[in-house]
């Protein structure tokens, strides 16, 4: 049993590889469509596309080969009485993509990521790969930070969840500010709302773990 624990990949690594691999593959399509990046040398666009695409495929393949360990870790967390807490990164990623789709189609909200912005024009289905990428990245980061916190702080300290809480807070800024922007169309207020939500979410998660200890990954 101890030997199996040693050979397991670091928590979150496989999901981060899968998420980044998907995003690299999607990014290669952006390079291919923007020939203006190398108008005088079309071959460099093709080479860049192949390089980014190969990197994405490599990350995706490696991540999928290691993903069983992270799936087992996630399953053990979700089966806890407070397992819903660990689904927060997934919920925030889904809300972020949904609000982006609504905002770009029905309001003046501008998506800063050109690849995501162009995909929204093709409807919800086109955003599914981005959603999968964001979910994998956010969940992988959450697992990694949970492990980091358990190593850095004592098991009785609520600060063990601080890294996980900060990741959730950062992920929550975008959806909160965009939702506010849809209602008010006033950017400073939307920014303030996003910051307030992030700080509140971080505080709430840390307080939630105050009397308890996290499961070791």
Residue 156, number of CB atoms within 10 A of its CB? 11
pLDDT tens for each residue of 28-58: 766 565 544 444 544 456 777 888 889 999 9
pLDDT tens for each residue of 85-104: 999 999 998 888 788 776 66
Q: Does 164 have pLDDT greater than 70?
A: yes
Give residue limits of the domains in the chain: 2-208
pLDDT tens for each residue of 170-206: 989 988 988 888 888 777 888 999 999 999 999 999 8
> Do residues 204 and 60 lie in contact, with contact meaning Cβ atoms separated by under 8 Å?
no
User: In the block, which residue shows the tokens 């593959």?
Assistant: 25
Predicted TM-score (pTM) of this structure = 0.77
Q: Report phi then psi at 68, rounded to 5.
A: -60, -40
Cα–Cα distance for residue pair 65/5, rounded to 1 Å: 17
Residue partners of 207: CB distance under 8 A and separation at least 6 = 158
């Amino acid at each position: 049993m101890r030997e199996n624990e040693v050979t397991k990949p670091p928590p979150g690594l496989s999901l981060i590889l899968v998420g980044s691999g998907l995003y690299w593959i999607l990014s290669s399509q952006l390079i291919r469509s923007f020939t203006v990046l190398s108008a005088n040398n079309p071959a460099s666009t093709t080479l860049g596309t192949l390089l980014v695409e190969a990197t994405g495929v490599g990350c995706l393949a490696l991540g999928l080969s290691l993903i069983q360990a992270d799936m087992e870790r996630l399953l053990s967390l979700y089966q806890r009485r407070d397992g819903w807490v660990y689904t927060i990164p997934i919920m925030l990623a889904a809300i972020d993509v949904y609000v982006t789709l609504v905002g770009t189609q029905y309001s003046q909200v501008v998506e800063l990521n050109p690849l995501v912005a162009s995909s929204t024009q093709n409807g919800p289905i086109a955003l599914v790969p981005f959603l999968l990428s964001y979910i994998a990245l956010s969940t992988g980061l959450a697992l990694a930070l949970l492990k980091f916190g358990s190593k850095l702080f004592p098991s009785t300290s609520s600060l063990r969840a601080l890294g996980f809480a900060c990741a959730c807070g950062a992920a929550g800024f975008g959806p909160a500010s965009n939702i506010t922007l849809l209602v008010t169309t006033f950017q400073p207020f939307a920014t303030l709302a996003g910051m307030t939500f992030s700080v509140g979410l971080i505080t709430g998660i840390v307080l939630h773990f105050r009397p308890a200890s996290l499961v070791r990954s």
